[in-house]
Amino acid sequence: RAKEEGGSGHYRYEPRLHATAEERRVLEVALRRALADGELSLNFQPVVNAQDETLVSFEALMRWNSAEHGSISPGKFIPLAEDTRLIVPIGAWVLEQACREAARWPRDVRVAVNVSPEQLLERDFPATVVNALSASGLDAHRLEIEVTESIFLRDPDVARNSLEQVMALGCTVALDDFGTGYSSLGYLRKLQFSTIKVDRTFVDGAAEGNQESLAIVRAVIAMARSLEMTTTAEGVESPEQAELVRSLGCDKIQGFHFGRPMPAEEVHALFRQREPLIA
């Protein structure tokens, strides 16, 4: 952060690294207060059945609207929350909040919640899930936990044990952003994921005619099937992309084509509109 030196004409050396560290420090101070100040919220993005396009679930996606800094993207504040371990209390709030919203939806609509390795490796992570379920009254079968391959980097046994406890409650676990991280296929046999989410980069690539991406999407779908896991294509933005992943055999689709992440009130409005049709 450059300070004006009254036109002395001196050249001030400002290494970019310094600016970044300073920016992070300033954001960290704000993030420490964000939860208590009510600056965090959840958006929900629909996931549909690839065959009939019926609604399957919503993924909860965190938003931060800082009074001081404006809207900050998850790509920026999630890594900061992870580095500072603020993701542990914030993530517990996300879990409970997402379950509370889902408890008000029709019973056949599930909710998916992203969980960072820092949360999963906490001893009391399973207790945090139990708390969220009991506080909200949500049936465990309606909650899916999304983790990325990175959970297997640090402490695979602790991560697996934690997820197995959560699965014993009735929750399912999805493997997010598949193919972008640490890829050892061994763990896929050790943990029964319900769903593998095919990362948007491969969906994009395949739709653009990239043969490697296409081969990867095909291979992931075939592998998931043989392991009795379903697949979700992420980041589907056009009817053409939807048709492609459907024809390749993806079970579920998520992306702007079917719906953007939306505030909880919009989800409720959606269900209120539909109610007469259901009844």
Q: Kindly list the residues in this chain that would bind ligand C2E in the complex (CB under 6 A).
A: 45, 61-62, 73-75, 78, 87, 91, 94, 114-116, 146, 176-177, 235-237, 254-256, 261
Cα–Cα distance for residue pair 53/228, rounded to 1 Å: 21
Q: What contacts 3, CB < 8 A, 6 or more positions away?
A: none
Instruction: Tell me whether residue 45 or residue 136 sits nearer to ligand C2E (CB atom).
Output: 45
Instruction: Tell me whether residue 30 or residue 119 sits nearer to ligand C2E (CB atom).
Output: 119
- In the three-class reduction of DSSP (H, G, I as helix; E, B as strand; rest coil), residue 63 is classed as strand
Q: What contacts 212, CB < 8 A, 6 or more positions away?
A: 205
Cα–Cα distance for residue pair 236/48, rounded to 1 Å: 11
Closest distance of CB 253 from Mg ion, Å? 13
Cα–Cα distance for residue pair 207/236, rounded to 1 Å: 10
Out of 177, 198, 232, 253, which residue is the one contacting Mg ion (CB under 5 A)? 177
In total, the chain counts a number of residues equal to 279
Instruction: Tell me whether residue 140 or residue 151 sits nearer to ligand C2E (CB atom).
Output: 151
Closest distance of CB 181 from ligand C2E, Å? 11
- In the three-class reduction of DSSP (H, G, I as helix; E, B as strand; rest coil), residue 253 is classed as strand
Closest distance of CB 44 from Mg ion, Å? 12
Contact string 144-163 vs Mg ion (x = CB under 5 A): --x-----------------
Extract the tokens encoding 104: 């008000």
Binding window for Mg ion (CB under 5 A); candidates: 42-50, 124-132, 230-238, 251-259: 230-238
- Largest Cα–Cα separation, the chain: 75
Closest distance of CB 178 from ligand C2E, Å? 10
